[in-house]
Every structure is written in structure tokens, then in C-alpha cells.
Amino acid sequence: MNFSMPNKAKLHLQVKTISESVAYFTRNLGWTLVEEMDHAVLMSIQPGYLVALSESNFNIPSQTKKWLDTVVHSPNSGDSFYIGVHSVQQTLSSLIQRGIHNYRIKEDPGFICNLIVPVIDGYTVVYWEELFLTNDEILQLYAQGPSELENAIKGLSEEDLDASLSAGKWSIRQNVLHLVDMELITMHKLKFALSESGRSYIGNSFSQDAWSDGLDYKIRSIGAEVELFKAVRNHIVQMCKQLPDAMNRFVVVSGKHETAGRLMKMMHSHVRHHLRTITKIRHMHDNV
């Protein structure tokens, strides 16, 4: 999660040839060129979302570091990056007009619809649209989170927790520790919404990789964190059942209202994403 200044690049892509990549992203995705230097460019994906491109055979020029936000997502070739849109169908229509025909759509009803598009330099763009649930549905799903987590890791040994999809990808252990930390980070905003509805909220930039390294996700046990996750979810559920109109209380972030219900839905969607990854890992390793 990144509460960043909108005039800085949150994304950095390494590409084979700057000129070819700029031409591709301009022609096929509708990105616009903002600034260029030797072997690097700054482009706009959409208003408020900038990306820095640099050639993989060169270090990004020191002058271009002024483009970069405090925390920058730097996926490798073969990885995905995400772009939020108001309508996946409208985005798809625009991309088809620009010549994009290799894509697939994946929907998690009530949560998210993803338009998945392989692009140049081995990357995959995931355009995502938020879908909606009622507040009662959100609260019910949010309350089910602890049992879903326990079922996902049921029967796993300490050795099993170190299984991953492939070398360099997060293990089951790392996925669990990350989802619990994200729960705690987002709960800070949620508690402000519940206690001081209508106030402005400014959060810090967050790097999941920095937290994974700094907090030793690779080797830590998960028992205490799973119990903490259960306690936090129960704490929030009980408050929302007691406080009048709790799910519609909100904070103001960059001029926009973020309700308690929307935050809880986002938190549970994040957990579901990592539980699906854990399930994939278990299926890949038959003995896990």
C-alpha cells in the first residue's frame, strides 16, 4: 500500500530497448511520454500514475532518480504490475482498438475483475476494477477470514511452510506473515475511520519486500501471527456490530472518502489473494 505524491513514479520497468518500448506503450496502451534522458524515460500511464523506464543494460541515470517515489515497485521480466480502472470493459474496448488481442479476464464476484494483458519485455499488465458487495456481506466475509486462513494452512509442518511456487517466489510462511502485517497496517486507518469519522488521514509509503527482509519473513514462525490475525478480526467485527452506522464511517485520503466497509473489503480481498497462492503451492507440492 502506497500513500504517495502523485507526481512521482511508483513503477520502474527495465526494458531491452527504450525506443521500442516507448513506441509499444504509446501505440498499444495509450501511455504518454513526459520526459526523456539517455537510456531512460518517464511516462504517464494515466493521470497521477507515472512509470520510469530504463534500459536493462544500463543503470538508471542518476538524474532520473528525481522521477522516483520513495517506494517504487520494480517488477522483473515475467512479473505483473497493476493498474486500477473504473471499467474493465471500457479499458478492453480501448485496447482492442489499439491492436491488443491477447488478453484474458478473471473475475472474483463481488470483489474484483482483472483484465490480464501480456505486453513487451516479458511483463504482464493487470487492469483491475473493483466490484461491490453490501455492508452486511462485507462484514460476514471479513468475519470468516480467520477460519479461511486456518483451513489454508491446516496440517502444515514447519518444513511445509517453506514451500513456494518457484525459486525466488514467496513461501507459504512469507505469504502468511505478509498478510498479517498488511492487516495491522490497514487497521490503523480503519480505526481512525471508526473513531473519528470524516477526519483526514495520511499514511506512510509501504514496501512489502522491505518488510519481508527487515522482519525475517523467511524464517519466523507463524503461530503468534495467526492468533493475532484472529484477535484483530474479532475485535473489528465486534466494534462494527456495536457502533451505529460503523461500516459507513470514513476517513478522507487525498480528497476521497474511504469507508470502513470499503477498507474491510479491501483487507479481505488481499487475504483471499494470498490464500489462493497458498492453495496453489499446496497443490504443486503433493506432499504439502
Query: 197-255 pLDDT, tens per residue?
Result: 999 999 888 889 999 999 999 999 999 999 999 999 999 999 999 999 999 999 999 99
Which pLDDT does position 287 carry in this prediction? 63
Percentage of residues in the chain having pLDDT higher than 70: 96
Query: 239-268 pLDDT, tens per residue?
Result: 999 999 999 999 999 999 999 999 999 999
Provide the mean pLDDT of the chain: 94
- Please enumerate in sequence order all residues whose Cβ is within 8 A of that of 46, keeping only pairs 6 or more positions apart, or say none: 83
* pTM exceeds cut of 0.75: no
Return the DSSP state at 26.
Answer: I
3-state DSSP assignment of residue 177: helix
Which pLDDT does position 61 carry in this prediction? 67
Domain borders along the chain are 9-130, 135-284
Which pLDDT does position 271 carry in this prediction? 96
Query: 157-191 pLDDT, tens per residue?
Result: 999 999 999 999 999 999 999 999 999 999 999 99
Q: Are 88 and 115 spatial neighbours (Cβ–Cβ below 8 Å)?
A: yes
Which pLDDT does position 56 carry in this prediction? 87
Q: Is the pLDDT of residue 94 over 90?
A: yes
Q: Is 240 exposed, middle or buried (0-12, 13-18, 19+ CB in 10 A)?
A: buried
48: left (phi over 0), alpha (psi -120 to 50) or beta: left
Which pLDDT does position 112 carry in this prediction? 92
Query: 42-69 pLDDT, tens per residue?
Result: 999 999 899 999 998 777 667 778 899 9
The CATH fold assigned to 135-284 is Four Helix Bundle (Hemerythrin (Met), subunit A) (1.20.120)
Superfamily of domain 9-130: 2,3-Dihydroxybiphenyl 1,2-Dioxygenase, domain 1 (3.10.180.10)
- φ, ψ of residue 196 in degrees (nearest 5): -135, 60
* Residue in 242, 136, 265 with CA at minimum distance from that of residue 195: 242
Q: Cell numbers at residue 62, please?
A: 542518476
Neighbours of 285 (CB within 10 A): 13
d(CA 34, CA 51): 10
**What CA–CA distances, in Å, run from 105 to 58, 78, 132, 180, 222?**
35, 18, 17, 28, 34
